[in-house]
């Protein structure tokens, strides 16, 4: 039985890597998949909207082209920390949040949002108050203004905004679940064989990468992360909400 039969799922970052494999697996399970990406898709979809998720106006334009009812959202699009900090903030947090807030309004009870965080967000408790303050900003422009007053260093911006995403998900998920019956969770990969894996090596530095190499068997394959995302979108996960699920071959456990 296809557990996602007839559900409409929006997948960002659909044109490559984890997003592409998530879309394929969703369609195999009977879902109708609408993709969002700044690049043209390289796979069969049930709909596609080309969008720059770094700009609120572009997101709003994309929203006008998306269905009036959406059963799920997989926020997979992201940029590495090798791009300017402003772009990381816009794509990996502010744009994701804006899209999610608007699409959640279109979701029926039983809907699901899955955000892709990262093992690099695991130190969020050290900056929890800052992340809560950013999470409480009401909209995209307010978030930009808050970040102008609380600038984030370039060299740690990727980790910072993955931490912020985890904190926003955890602090907002129960409000959403109680009000609408819509679940929101994170899936937190470790290193993954994707087109931007090299950017992460560059971002972290070879010394850090070599020091952590013994902690894991290998980077994940994209379909291994996609399977977890699809599970969290589906009804089998209907009582899982407000969690950050590591999908990293045990890497997170080695930091205890």
Strand locations in 38-90 (E): 47-50, 72-75
Residue environment code for 7-39, b if the CB has 16+ CB neighbours within 10 A, otherwise e? bbbbbbbbbbbbbbbbbbbbbebebbbbbbbee
Spatial separation of the C-alpha atoms in residues 249 and 215, rounded to whole Å: 9
Looking at the DSSP bridge assignments, the partners of residue 49 are 36
Q: Which of 158, 160, 221, 255 is catalytic?
A: 158
To the query of whether residue 158 is one of the catalytic residues in this protein, the response is yes
At residue 158, φ and ψ (nearest 5 deg) are -65, -50
Measured in degrees and rounded to the nearest 5, phi and psi for residue 135 equal -60, -30
Positions marked catalytic = 158
């Amino acid at each position: 039985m296809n557990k996602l039969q007839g559900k409409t799922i929006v997948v960002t970052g659909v044109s490559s890597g984890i997003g592409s494999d998530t879309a394929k697996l969703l369609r195999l399970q009977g879902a109708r998949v609408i993709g969002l990406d700044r690049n043209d898709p390289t796979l069969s979809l049930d709909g596609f909207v080309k969008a720059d998720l770094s700009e609120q106006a572009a997101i709003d334009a994309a929203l006008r082209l998306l269905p009036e009812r959406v059963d799920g959202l997989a926020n997979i699009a992201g940029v590495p920390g090798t791009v300017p900090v402003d772009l990381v903030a816009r794509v990996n947090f502010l744009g994701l949040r804006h899209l999610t807030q608007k699409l959640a309004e279109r979701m029926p009870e039983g809907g699901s949002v899955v955000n892709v965080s990262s093992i690099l967000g695991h130190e969020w408790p050290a900056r929890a108050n800052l992340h809560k303050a950013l999470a409480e900003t009401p909209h995209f422009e307010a978030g930009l203004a808050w970040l102008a007053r609380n600038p984030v260093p370039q060299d740690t911006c990727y980790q910072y905004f993955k931490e912020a995403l985890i904190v926003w998900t955890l602090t907002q998920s129960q409000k959403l679940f109680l009000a609408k019956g819509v679940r929101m969770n994170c899936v937190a990969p470790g290193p993954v064989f994707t087109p931007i894996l090299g950017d992460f090596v560059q971002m972290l530095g070879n010394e850090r990468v070599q020091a952590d190499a013994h902690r894991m068997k290998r980077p994940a394959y994209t379909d291994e992360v996609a399977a977890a995302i699809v599970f969290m979108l589906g009804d089998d996960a209907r009582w899982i909400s407000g969690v950050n699920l590591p999908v990293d071959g045990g890497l997170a456990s080695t930091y205890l």
